[in-house]
């Protein structure tokens, strides 16, 4: 629910039409927009780059949380999260190119994905380790010297009363001695 709400807010913010007397062409050269932002000065560059990194950054936590697996591979989780966020950002950028006053920007895609990656690496492995430790403490501890006749997790094996177990020689047909 939180993931869907976040995606709706990010989509709404990205799809608002802008009123501008002119619109530049799509920015498809990698790092061109970042170089232009850095030329503005430190405060304006931080604000512009932060505006590209922050909107998608919560997906670094929300996407793995939606899966709900504690024992996921850290590298696999990172790959799934980065790929999913890259595809969402790409779709957003392509659709955004059709909105009045908005242009397709490759650097915005790179910033979105880098925000997700940094957030995922900073939060998810530590949170999963903490949740695994907490789950390990609250789980009932089974002694290593558990008896065989204890009830298994699936339950006790059903038996039919008054029927014993036949020895192997009597159980096979035609094995009468």
What's the mean pLDDT in 42-57?
Answer: 93
Query: How far apart, in whole angstroms, are the C-alpha atoms of residue 44 and residue 47?
Result: 5
Residue 6, pLDDT > 80, answer yes
Q: Which helix (H) or strand (E) segment is 59 a member of?
A: helix 59-67
Residue 87's pLDDT band, with cuts at 50, 70 and 90, is very high
Query: How far apart, in whole angstroms, are the C-alpha atoms of residue 120 and residue 141?
Result: 32
177 secondary structure, DSSP code? -
Residues 93-152 have pLDDT tens digits of 888 887 777 788 899 999 999 999 999 999 999 999 998 888 885 444 445 444 555 556
Count the helices and strands in the chain (H runs, E runs). Answer: 7, 0
């Amino acid at each position: 629910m939180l993931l869907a709400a976040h995606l709706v807010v990010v989509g709404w913010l990205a799809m608002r039409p802008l009123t501008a007397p002119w619109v530049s062409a799509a920015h498809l050269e990698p790092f061109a927009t970042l170089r232009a932002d850095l030329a503005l000065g430190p405060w304006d560059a931080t604000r512009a780059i932060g505006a590209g990194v922050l909107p998608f950054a919560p997906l670094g936590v929300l996407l793995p949380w939606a899966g709900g697996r504690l024992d996921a591979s850290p590298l696999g989780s990172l790959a799934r999260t980065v790929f999913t966020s890259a595809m969402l950002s790409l779709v957003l950028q392509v659709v955004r190119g059709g909105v009045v006053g908005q242009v397709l920007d490759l650097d915005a895609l790179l910033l979105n994905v880098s925000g997700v990656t940094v957030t995922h690496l900073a939060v998810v492995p530590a949170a999963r380790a903490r949740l695994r430790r907490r789950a390990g403490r609250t789980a009932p501890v089974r002694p290593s010297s558990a008896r065989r006749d204890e009830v298994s997790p699936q339950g006790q094996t059903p038996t039919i009363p008054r029927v014993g177990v036949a020895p192997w020689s009597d159980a096979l047909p035609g094995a009468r001695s």
